[in-house]
Structure 1
Amino acid sequence: MIAVVKDTATPEQVDHFVSWIEGKGLSAHISKGDNTTIIGLVGDTTQVDPYLIEGMDIIERVQRVSEPFKRANRKFHPLDTVVDCGHGVKVGGGTFNVIAGPCSVEGDNLIRIAREVKAAGATMLRGGAYKPRTSPYAYQGMGEKGLDILCAARDELDMPIVTEIMDPRDVDKFLSRNIEVWQIGARNAQNFPLLKEVGKTKTPILLKRGIAGTIDELLMAAEYIMSEGNPNVIVCERGIRTFETRTRNSFDLNAIPVLHGLTHLPVCADPSHATGHTRYVTPMALAATAAGADCLEIEVHDDPKHAWSDGAQALTPAQFRDAMARIAKVREAVTMEVE
């Protein structure tokens, strides 16, 4: 349920209304726009009479929200959320960012790759220190040593790092190193203990859609994080498993505008994991840009044939430079004013 506040309401009246709502066992989510203040009521709203609320002097109207996700809902928060990732990088609200780097941290080559992607225009560096793999015998990542290598690259290049967290017990490791953006991978999109634990921090979370997850399931995963008090969530379309076998996954471009309509959270797109093949990454990055993605996540490796994981979908630095030039042209086309 949401209550739209009249523009004549004073801050004291709003505070009094919020206290009254909380006294009913609900929580209140306040969203202030340029001209409108909306108060979202979260919890068992059957305990309050909407007609009673609508009759209050400061309330313009009351509207029920049928979707199960509340805090992530654009009805609760009409303006786009902007997530501050540090180092001057903000995602959402009309900005555009590119996250780039290798699938996994392998060693000193990360610094070389980081220099290349930043020079080409990437604003954040990606790399997995912990890697969830289908086979228990596949490379699982460098762990804490990988985190330290990422931090060294961040410190040299003054750019945020994005890396996956897989275990609630690793939260302190990530916090102590000031990892700017924590990625929740597709396999953990419904790991509810992990979602709750990262929700207790204020760290930006890049939340990927589950392997076969629906859009609503992605938003409910975001709701788990936000319900614990962390509003800094970026949702990411990375392809879903379908009957198609020609690509690694089926890249759901529909999800980008659909998510923008449903949620105020920034929307990222990952064409690398979606397609699984280098030749398809740039075309789908361009398509995602045209569809309105707030940021892209692209895998880049200086020697893909010898990458320790997912080399088949990694761009070389030269290919990434070309992709970034093309992406800039698409951005120019979709953001220009049309008379």
Structure 2
Amino acid sequence: MDIKAPFHKKPWVIAGPCSAESQEQLLVTAKAIQSDTDLFRAGVWKPRTRPNSFEGIGEKALEWLQEVKQETDLLVATEVANAQHVEKCLQAGIDVLWLGARTTVNPFYVQEIAEALKGVDMPIMVKNPLHPELSLWIGALERLNKVGINQLTAIHRGFFTLEKSAFRNEPKWEIPIRLKKKCPELPIICDPSHISGNRTMIQEVAQTALDLNMSGLMVETHVSPQTALSDAEQQITPKQLSNLISSLVLRETSAEDKNFNAQLKKLRESIDEVDMKLLQVMGDRTKLVQEIGRFKKENSVTILQIERWFEILKTRQEMGVSCNLENQMVSELFELIHKHSILTQTDIMKK
């Protein structure tokens, strides 16, 4: 993709309420956060899960965003979900648009928006889809890029999960890392508000995002979060935003200190040696898996032995505890090993 970074400051801070609720709410919030913010955000149209929820003020709120531009030094942004939204925002002089998770997930919606933006030179941000499908995220960016949108930014807002989690949306940091590997020139912003789902976790998630070298943050900020009409639990006050920004530690991607670099090189070489041993052990394990697969084939036994799998999962977690490893890490590791053991034995059964 041909991408031109729409900003160069780091971290780039996007802040403002989840929803535009009133003219006063937007102006008071914007004036209170303008010294800590590069781009003011507010939802005008809100795609909600249930129809009786607050779904946004609509077109009227675009006038309020215009006033924010006039009375502060802030650029303004809002979410669009269809071509009509795009046209109204362009007419209102909105500076930046973003596509939400529910829009990114549908290529038809994305294409409609892309067609409406053809010939327009403005920054567009794309949130990840609801589920961890990297191809959908990249596909949305590509559709926009194909019509000439070069000022693209990805927004990592976490992913829906049915599993019990401390997060509203699981961060699954490996997904934006894979996106950065495929599109190194693409800026990625983190939305710690939607990942956290509550204001108490925002600082931790924001710091993790910066430690992973993300380009900035989108933080939902409301002058009175407790009275917010949407997502009240995950919005913070202007004062809390200021405290958050000042508390963040900005780390460098490399260091000039020769002693540090020498020690780091030594430690990395030790990891390389351990990884080699790990791969050799995995190779030995795979040979045993192949032998078991042939034995099962000769005796007409199914590949999956569910009781054995449950036993492996349980005992390996117990072994992991004795090695000071987290249960989740051990579970995920052996789920991956088991998956490839099944594939290996399936290939043997086919022969």
Using the size of structure 2 for normalisation, the TM-score is: 0.67
Q: Deviations over 1:201-259 (max 9, x none)?
A: 33211100011132232111111111222122211110001223432110122334332
Partner of 2:222: 301
Distance in structure 1 (CA, Å) of the matches to 2:90 and 2:108: 17
Counterpart of 1:316 (choices 231, 234, 237) is: 237
- The answer to whether residue 124 in structure 2 is matched with residue 205 in structure 1 is yes
SS of corresponding position for 1:321: helix
- The answer to whether residue 5 in structure 2 is matched with residue 82 in structure 1 is yes
**Cα contact 2:155–2:188 (8 A) shared by 1:** yes
**Cα contact 2:153–2:189 (8 A) shared by 1:** yes
SS of corresponding position for 1:251: coil
CA RMSD of aligned residues (A): 1.8
**Cα contact 2:199–2:234 (8 A) shared by 1:** yes
Q: Which moved further from structure 2: 188-197 or 172-181?
A: 188-197
- Give the CA deviation at 1:134: 0.4
Distance in structure 2 (CA, Å) of the matches to 1:183 and 1:320: 21
Partner of 1:218: 137
Partner of 1:276: 197
Partner of 2:48: 133
- The answer to whether residue 116 in structure 2 is matched with residue 166 in structure 1 is no
CA gap of 1:197–1:229, structure 2 versus 1, over 3 A, is: farther
SS of corresponding position for 1:100: strand
Distance in structure 1 (CA, Å) of the matches to 2:106 and 2:167: 26
Q: Deviations over 1:129-188 (max 9, x none)?
A: 110100111111111111111111022112111100112122221111121111100000
Partner of 2:102: 187
CA gap of 1:335–1:116, structure 2 versus 1, over 3 A, is: farther
CA gap of 1:258–1:169, structure 2 versus 1, over 3 A, is: same
Distance in structure 1 (CA, Å) of the matches to 2:153 and 2:211: 18
Q: Which runs of 5+ in 1 are unaligned?
A: 1-70, 72-76, 84-89
Q: Which runs of 5+ in 2 are unaligned?
A: 258-351
SS of corresponding position for 2:34: helix
Using the size of structure 1 for normalisation, the TM-score is: 0.70
Distance in structure 2 (CA, Å) of the matches to 1:230 and 1:160: 19
Partner of 1:58: none
- Give the CA deviation at 1:336: 7.0
Q: Deviations over 1:274-305 (max 9, x none)?
A: 11011001110111011111121001112111
Partner of 2:170: 250
- Give the CA deviation at 1:335: 5.4
**Cα contact 1:81–1:266 (8 A) shared by 2:** no
**Cα contact 1:256–1:288 (8 A) shared by 2:** no
**Cα contact 1:196–1:228 (8 A) shared by 2:** no
Distance in structure 1 (CA, Å) of the matches to 2:209 and 2:15: 15
Between structures 1 and 2, the one with greater strand share: 1
SS of corresponding position for 1:217: helix
Distance in structure 1 (CA, Å) of the matches to 2:254 and 2:74: 28
Instruction: Give the AA of the match of 1:162.
Output: A
Instruction: Give the AA of the match of 2:217.
Output: L
Between structures 1 and 2, the one with greater helix share: 2
Instruction: Give the AA of the match of 2:128.
Output: R
